[in-house]
């Protein structure tokens, strides 16, 4: 009897296992090697990509063996690709280089290798010293997204000038110029694919790993990867330079940003303190909080003298809407209108390049504020405000609102500055905003309301302000 029960239980467990496996396989798109090969062959890259068993192995790790890692990587592009793209544009270097930290650190600024390489770009200390990255009891700039990116691009530019080939430059970034030089001599070629067999295994596989990382970024949605996204406010970040010592607690009290968010966005500071620096240290915060810090910086940076009385904003909410691309628009203009990074526009719309087309509808987020408390002017440095209770970020789906989407409009009654010759005035009541007026009257768009009042998208108007209403 016991034997029969054991057999029955065995088959039940086996059947459950098979069902679970089948369901799992249905959840994940099948990895079609022929399709992947075709995409790799036609994938835009700054050197001719090739597909081989090593590339396939890396891709299977992303799409089959460790999908959670792939989702985390794509989610983290929203935090770090805006920074990478900023400096790549400034240096006029290939945008594809932003993929390198995916294989170096999986976009984790705290990543540490067996050889004690640290940070997004995986600097060992001697190389970091050579490129001016500080490491002391207060800060490890190998973990600083801005400092480390600047140093890495200087290093990569130097390697490219040396080899005249990006594949060899990337191999030298990983294995060092000496190993690459020796391999070039033995191969009697400067073609990476011919040099490759003379390189150490890790460096030999480095370009296939780079190809796989580029494929992951370009085609993750074809494999059912859903990015583990961060809050919109964290994605729409900016930075300020801090010269005097200040703690994360003080920054939190000034801006209302929680300590753990400040720590997450600023991984290089070891003791939650930004030390004094004559050249300035980077402080990364949500963009709206950076403005508060800029208002407050004279008080932080000077011990005596006149002070500026900042008008503090509470943490904002974010509303999702859409924008229709108009003639003359490019991704940089749209990003400027919505006070975000160009990469944010790409991330929210799953765009792989900076190209946008007239008539294209873009998903975007707008910042809305609740109120603007005032502070009394003082000739002496003001005391820091008490830390406020964190207000959760609320993302309102477009379809869940009555607010009409931001879009292009054509009306001869409107001009860029003067608005309409026919309009009524409305006095804002307590708690009302431009967005609430659009919802209340439901006869004009937010774009029209902003245009006739000559206001920006993130404008704040206090109670009692008079607003022109389009007819």
The whole-angstrom separation of Cα 236 and Cα 115 is 34
**Crossing angle of helices 248-255 and 287-301, rounded to 10°:** 120
Banded model confidence at residue 109, pLDDT cuts 50, 70, 90: very high
Q: In the predicted model, is pLDDT for residue 310 greater than 80?
A: no
Which residue in the list 104, 202, 311, 439 is annotated as catalytic? Answer: 104
pLDDT at position 294 = 84
Q: In the predicted model, is pLDDT for residue 386 greater than 50?
A: no
Burial of 31 (0-12, 13-18, 19+ CB in 10 A): middle
Q: In the predicted model, is pLDDT for residue 141 greater than 80?
A: yes
The whole-angstrom separation of Cα 419 and Cα 423 is 9
Give the mean pLDDT of 18-47: 73
Both ends of the chain: CA-CA distance in Å?
85
Higher-pLDDT residue of 298 and 355 is: 355
Share of the chain above pLDDT 90, in %: 56
161 flagged as catalytic: no
Strand pairing class (317-324; 395-396):
parallel
* Predicted TM-score (pTM) of this structure: 0.73
The whole-angstrom separation of Cα 135 and Cα 274 is 13
73-85: pLDDT as tens digits: 999 999 999 999 9
pLDDT at position 399 = 29
195-251: pLDDT as tens digits: 999 999 999 999 999 999 999 999 999 999 999 989 898 999 999 999 999 999 999
pLDDT at position 468 = 83
Give the mean pLDDT of 88-109: 96
């Amino acid at each position: 009897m016991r034997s029969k029960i054991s057999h029955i239980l065995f088959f039940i467990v086996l059947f459950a296992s098979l069902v679970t496996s089948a369901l799992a396989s249905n959840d994940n798109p099948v990895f079609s090697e022929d399709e992947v090969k075709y995409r790799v062959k036609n994938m835009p890259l700054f050197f001719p990509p090739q597909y081989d068993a090593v590339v396939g192995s890396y891709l299977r790790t992303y799409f089959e063996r460790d999908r959670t890692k792939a989702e985390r990587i794509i989610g983290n592009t929203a935090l770090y690709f805006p920074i990478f793209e900023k400096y790549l544009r400034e240096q006029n270097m290939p945008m594809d280089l932003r993929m390198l930290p995916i294989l170096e650190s999986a976009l984790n600024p705290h990543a540490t290798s067996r050889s004690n390489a640290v940070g997004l770009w995986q600097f060992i200390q001697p190389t970091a010293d050579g490129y001016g990255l500080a490491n002391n009891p207060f800060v490890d700039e190998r973990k600083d997204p801005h400092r480390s990116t600047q140093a890495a691009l200087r290093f990569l530019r130097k390697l490219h000038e040396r080899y005249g080939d990006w594949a060899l430059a990337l191999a030298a970034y990983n294995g060092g110029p000496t190993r690459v030089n020796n391999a070039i001599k033995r191969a009697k070629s400067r073609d990476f694919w011919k040099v490759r067999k003379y390189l150490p295994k890790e460096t030999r596989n480095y370009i296939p790993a780079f190809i796989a990382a580029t494929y992951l970024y370009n085609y993750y949605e074809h494999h059912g990867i859903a990015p583990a996204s961060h809050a919109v406010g964290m994605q729409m970040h900016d930075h300020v330079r801090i010269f005097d010592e200040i703690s994360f607690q003080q920054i939190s009290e000034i801006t209302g940003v929680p300590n753990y968010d400040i720590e997450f966005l600023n991984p290089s500071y070891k003791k939650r303190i930004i030390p004094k620096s004559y050249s300035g240290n980077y402080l990364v915060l949500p963009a709206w909080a950076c403005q508060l810090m800029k208002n407050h910086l004279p008080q932080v940076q000077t011990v005596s003298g006149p002070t500026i009385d900042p008008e503090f904003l509470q943490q904002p909410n974010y509303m999702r809407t859409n924008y229709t691309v108009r003639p003359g628009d490019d991704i940089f203009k749209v990003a400027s209108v919505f006070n975000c990074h160009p990469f944010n526009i790409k991330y929210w719309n799953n765009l792989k390049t900076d190209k946008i087309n007239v008539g294209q509808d873009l998903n975007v987020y707008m910042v809305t504020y609740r109120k603007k408390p005032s502070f009394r002017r003082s000739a002496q440095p003001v005391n820091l405000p008490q830390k406020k209770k964190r207000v959760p970020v609320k993302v309102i789906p477009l379809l869940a609102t009555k607010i009409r989407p931001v879009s292009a409009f054509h009306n001869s009654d409107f001009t860029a500055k003067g608005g309409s010759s026919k309009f009524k005035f409305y006095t804002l009541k307590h708690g009302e905003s431009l967005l609430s007026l659009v919802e209340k009257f439901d006869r004009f768009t937010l774009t029209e309301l902003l245009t006739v009042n000559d206001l920006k998208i993130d404008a704040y108007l206090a109670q009692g302000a008079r607003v022109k209403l389009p007819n």
